[in-house]
Structure 1
Amino acid sequence: MREIVLINITGEDRPGLTSAITGVLVQDGVNILDMSQAVIHGTLSFGLLVEFNAAAQAAATCEAVRSTAESLGQQVRVSSMSEADYQRWVQAQGAGRHIVTLMSRKISADQVQRVSAITSAHGLNIEAIDRLSGRVALDAVADAQSKACLEFSVRGDPADPLALRAAFLNLSQELGIDIAFQEDSLFRRHRRLAVFDMDSTLIEAEVIDELAKAAGVGEQVSEITERAMRGELDFRASFKERLALLKGLDVGVLDEIGASLRLTEGTENLFAELKRLGYKTAILSGGFTYFAKQLQAKLGIDYVFANELEVVDGKVTGVAIEPIVDAQRKADLLTELAQREGLQMEQTIAVGDGANDLPMLALAGLGVAFRAKPLVRQSARQAISTLGLDGVLYLLGVREREGRG
């Protein structure tokens, strides 16, 4: 009668251990049903689920495994599994697989405990935890530029996905962290097109507000911009209203403002990594092409779609040139670019901060609200508010040890 046995080996990691253990099993022609190995700070955790043809064979071989492992300084635990338990384990492979990503400036035990508690409360089982961020020195201080990320691989399907998301969102706001919940699908690490809003996403400013300050109508335009980004005003109408207030602005101001614009934290690192990974990138912006082209040259962006700033006789006319890149136009452009590149929508990423970004965030395979207004953060499937823009790489499962800056 066949015997199913779980062998757990722990101890100081050392070269050749896996070969030595499996070498014992080879002698008896054992079938390996499952296998897992992990090392944390030099300590090994090695598990094997194996099938023997007979109980007598199992006892003898497991004793040989124990002897070999102990000679190498390891501890061994052997336990039997019934065929019924094994069948339940096999049937569980059809359960949903998801990824929970915890991002912070520094990871604390409280953050991990509360994230895992919510995960468990919604019927999900954590199967693996991996650190995606780089190693941190003991004397390192968490500051505005530090990054920390843990990725939880979980099994199961939440009974109420909206309630789970709300719980994660509330915890994110309470602790000042970011938590993402995604299906662990084939596409998660194989997306190929990333599109971005520009103002307050790739750059720290809303350019139209900076232009308005130069034109002496800064407060008036900023108030309209803020309401539009919160979703309180129609973007198209508010854009025309703000643009009209810039009539007569000298074109020389554009160069001054362009030179003063600052990239958001992590932008250069993100685009360098996306380029290394073979992504196509695009700016889909309700801002202006004049400034988007500067970013395109600096970051190596493939496509730019933004609004044209009409200038006549060296002065801004204040007239909007159609087509205006509004919320629907952004979503349409995302679809067009995916088709042009021969991609499915699941292979796309969209990142933005305003209400006019929501349609493209909803359409993309991965939609991320970046340092967004409350309405946008609550409506988008994923949000990053704590880290810089390169936090998007964590959502793709990219580890810093794989070549990130």
Structure 2
Amino acid sequence: MKFGKFLQENKARLPKAWTDQFINYKQIKKFLKSNVTPNTLSFDLTQLTWKPNPPNQPSFANKVSERLGLLQVNTTKFLEFLDAEVQKVSDFFEEQSSQLFRMYDAAVGKPEGLNQKDADESLEGIVQLENFALLNYTGVVKILKKHDRHSGLNISEAYLYRTASLPFVKMGDLSTLKKTLMDKFSGSAVTSNNTVPNLSKRKYAPSKDHSLFPSVALLPHHKVIVSLTGSHGTDVIGCVLESMAKFGVEIEDFMLSRLYHNVTFGVLIVLRSNSVELFRDLAKSAQKWDGILAFDIHDKEQTLPNSIEDAPYDNRMKYTATVLNGNGLTAQFLNEWTKLLLRENISVEKLKRLNEGKVSCADYELSVPIGVDIDNLRQDLFQLSISHGTDVALQPHDVFRKHKRLVVFDMDSTLIRQEVIDEIARIAGVVDKVASITHSAMNGEIDFKESLRRRVALLKGTPVGVLDTVRDGLQFTKGAHALCKALKKIGFKLAVISGGFMPLAQYVKQELGLDYAFANQLKVSQDGLTLTGETFGPIVDGERKAELLEVISQAENVSLDQVIAVGDGANDLWMLARAGLGIAFNAKPRVQEQARARINQHSLKYVLYLLGYTDEELKQLGCNDAIVRKNAKSSPDMAT
């Protein structure tokens, strides 16, 4: 909410006779716009060129001199205008304070002494006057910041220090009177003499009767976000919290962000007293640590987010987007990605890089309007990914994001580089015929079961030993060992569900330390020497893969939201859709288009980034991509 509107709304809640006693925020702002902004020292950089003495035009030095001259006149007028307004506020505050003290004296002087009604009226008057002081002080701060921004000068800090001794800034006596009233009605005996008690020394004995304690409705509950930015990390935190403790404010939330040595520490506080002396103390601390102080006062009716790190909007969904490119995130990609977010009114709440070295992987915490069509957004992200060779994985930002418990892998071209049926066919001398059937299946001309039946039929008579030969030539995908080792260390259950063949799936299970292996079973001749060209048992096609995923999750008592599925082929789409996180890994275009997340990088290690793990955490898990297979023919998992 713009401060001008905020001020108008809050003025209306105070006595009507006070309206003219506020600073004339609107008029001062208008003066700045008309007289200061046109002569600003913050030049329009697009109009500046290197022409020391342009013909028929004043030099740059003359332009600066001319503007300084006009600013000298208009800033002087501005300060005189502001001084008069501040003095008006201060005089009115003193007058109203005196009335409150006279009201208190009269009440105390009654034969029956101070009663609840008198105390309530006094407290209500004090709270109104505190609100008046806080609103006007905030207005002064806002208008000074506008002047500094529009003029190019920096006078705010000096001006605010000039106001430190004014009664409406110090507010000491009024705060003491308020405390006296509250102490008295939390249990003290009511005085019946005609003298004002010594507010700085008077002590009251506690009482068991708390019925006269003033209503909470009479107490101010302004919420204020205070932030201090500086280069002294813990000192910045310390000086803010010291002020909070000194003035007894209630801290609702805080956050810290760091950019190398520069930090911003933000605190959401509730003011129990509207004394603006807190802000003077904070300003002094900011000066001591060469920091930049800012604060924002919220309307009592304004809804705040659950955390000051959240975007302050209603009707939003939380998502995480992980962006990946092993060669580094380019400025061109980041620019288009940000423009896409802006187009959909999506707010970035947090941004965290996950990798070390040149930034190649980052997590975005997003606040997404409820009206955004997530399916259409995923399609836009797919097109963005294709055009920049950079993966964008969008997931709901919920408790299940980092609490997955089961990973189900496809085998061929996922955990291993090869397609095992092609390798068997190559040795059997029928690779071209098998490839032709595979091509027909990929084009949707035949389904997986039929394509498998036809391809296996071509292997009839092939010696069983071919499976050992293929096994010895298998090359594991880069990062497979490191990923599985890390996942096991943090308690995951792992499975391979393959449209290939069981002897090879069992080998992969053993090599990677998996918990489950499912694949198709090949029939062998009665003498056990050759393949019959048939399979037995259920065919592990796409639907069967999804069924097995559910069976394993039920056996492990894991919800589907806690399951990850990784695959590359069309027959993996069912299980990718069934899992809480389905990842198309270096997949066929049709699979990538339909999957909710994709990785087109050379290492399976990137699966851990999609779970939000950083390189530092990967090191703790032993996932350093430096694990080499025993078999010399295999592909070593080298560092990325």
Same topology, TM > 0.5: yes
State the structure with more CA Rg: 2
Within 2, Cα distance between the matches of 1:54 and 1:207? 74
Within 2, Cα distance between the matches of 1:230 and 1:31? 65
Within 2, Cα distance between the matches of 1:369 and 1:13? 45
Residue of structure 1 aligned with 2:338, choices 116, 122, 128: 116
Give 2:362's aligned residue. Answer: 150
- Say whether the 8 Å CA contact 1:6–1:47 is kept in structure 2: yes
Give 2:241's aligned residue. Answer: 22
Residue of structure 2 aligned with 1:76, choices 293, 301, 306: 293
Q: Kindly tell me: are residues 120 and 347 of structure 1, through their superposed partners in 2, closer, same or farther at Cα, counting changes over 3 Å?
A: same
Give 2:253's aligned residue. Answer: 34
SS in 1 for 2:356: coil
Say yes or no: does 1:87 pair with 2:87.
Answer: no
Worse overlay, 45-54 or 328-337: 45-54
Q: Kindly tell me: are residues 353 and 226 of structure 1, through their superposed partners in 2, closer, same or farther at Cα, counting changes over 3 Å?
A: farther
Q: Kindly tell me: are residues 168 and 387 of structure 1, through their superposed partners in 2, closer, same or farther at Cα, counting changes over 3 Å?
A: farther
Counterparts of 1:171-250 in structure 2, within 5 Å, are 171-229=384-442, 231-250=444-463
SS in 2 for 1:389: coil
SS in 1 for 2:510: helix
Give the deviation of 1:226 after TM superposition.
3.8
Give 2:500's aligned residue. Answer: 287
Within 2, Cα distance between the matches of 1:71 and 1:230? 71
Give the deviation of 1:363 after TM superposition.
0.6
Identity of aligned residues (%): 36
Q: Kindly tell me: are residues 112 and 196 of structure 1, through their superposed partners in 2, closer, same or farther at Cα, counting changes over 3 Å?
A: same
Give the deviation of 1:230 after TM superposition.
5.5
Give the deviation of 1:329 after TM superposition.
1.1
Q: Kindly tell me: are residues 88 and 47 of structure 1, through their superposed partners in 2, closer, same or farther at Cα, counting changes over 3 Å?
A: closer
- Say whether the 8 Å CA contact 2:325–2:360 is kept in structure 1: yes
The residue type equivalent to 1:398 in the other structure is: Y
Say yes or no: does 1:100 pair with 2:100.
Answer: no
The residue type equivalent to 1:33 in the other structure is: E
- Say whether the 8 Å CA contact 1:35–1:49 is kept in structure 2: yes
The structure richer in helix per residue is 2
- Say whether the 8 Å CA contact 1:230–1:373 is kept in structure 2: no
Give the deviation of 1:13 after TM superposition.
4.3
Which ranges of structure 2 fall in alignment gaps of 5 or more residues?
1-219, 307-311, 625-640
Higher relative contact order (CA 8 A, sep 6+): 1
Give the deviation of 1:203 after TM superposition.
0.7
Give 1:162's aligned residue. Answer: 375
Give the deviation of 1:269 after TM superposition.
2.0
The residue type equivalent to 1:60 in the other structure is: E
Give 2:46's aligned residue. Answer: none
SS in 2 for 1:87: coil
Within 1, Cα distance between the matches of 2:397 and 2:291? 34
SS in 1 for 2:229: strand
Give the deviation of 1:72 after TM superposition.
3.0
Residue of structure 2 aligned with 1:360, choices 570, 575, 582: 575
Give the deviation of 1:89 after TM superposition.
4.3
- Say whether the 8 Å CA contact 2:586–2:598 is kept in structure 1: yes
Residue of structure 2 aligned with 1:333, choices 540, 544, 548: 548
- Say whether the 8 Å CA contact 2:449–2:541 is kept in structure 1: yes
- Say whether the 8 Å CA contact 2:228–2:236 is kept in structure 1: no
The residue type equivalent to 2:349 in the other structure is: E
Within 1, Cα distance between the matches of 2:388 and 2:245? 51
Q: Kindly tell me: are residues 230 and 370 of structure 1, through their superposed partners in 2, closer, same or farther at Cα, counting changes over 3 Å?
A: farther
Superposition TM-score, scaled by structure 1 size:
0.91
Within 2, Cα distance between the matches of 1:32 and 1:224? 68
Number of residue pairs aligned between Structure 1 and Structure 2: 392
Give the deviation of 1:278 after TM superposition.
0.6
Deviations, residues 226-262 of structure 1 (Å, cap 9, x unaligned): 4435644311110011011011112222222212111
Say yes or no: does 1:130 pair with 2:347.
Answer: no
SS in 1 for 2:350: strand
Give 2:81's aligned residue. Answer: none
Q: Kindly tell me: are residues 230 and 199 of structure 1, through their superposed partners in 2, closer, same or farther at Cα, counting changes over 3 Å?
A: farther
Give the deviation of 1:17 after TM superposition.
3.7
Give 1:143's aligned residue. Answer: none
The residue type equivalent to 2:516 in the other structure is: Y
- Say whether the 8 Å CA contact 2:252–2:270 is kept in structure 1: yes
Deviations, residues 107-130 of structure 1 (Å, cap 9, x unaligned): 122222211211221221111100
SS in 1 for 2:233: coil
- Say whether the 8 Å CA contact 1:133–1:148 is kept in structure 2: yes
- Say whether the 8 Å CA contact 1:122–1:158 is kept in structure 2: no
Give 1:348's aligned residue. Answer: 563
Give 1:377's aligned residue. Answer: 592
Q: Kindly tell me: are residues 376 and 269 of structure 1, through their superposed partners in 2, closer, same or farther at Cα, counting changes over 3 Å?
A: same
Within 1, Cα distance between the matches of 2:264 and 2:361? 22
The structure richer in strand per residue is 1
Give 2:274's aligned residue. Answer: 55
Give the deviation of 1:339 after TM superposition.
0.6
SS in 1 for 2:294: strand
Superposition TM-score, scaled by structure 2 size:
0.59
Within 2, Cα distance between the matches of 1:321 and 1:293? 17
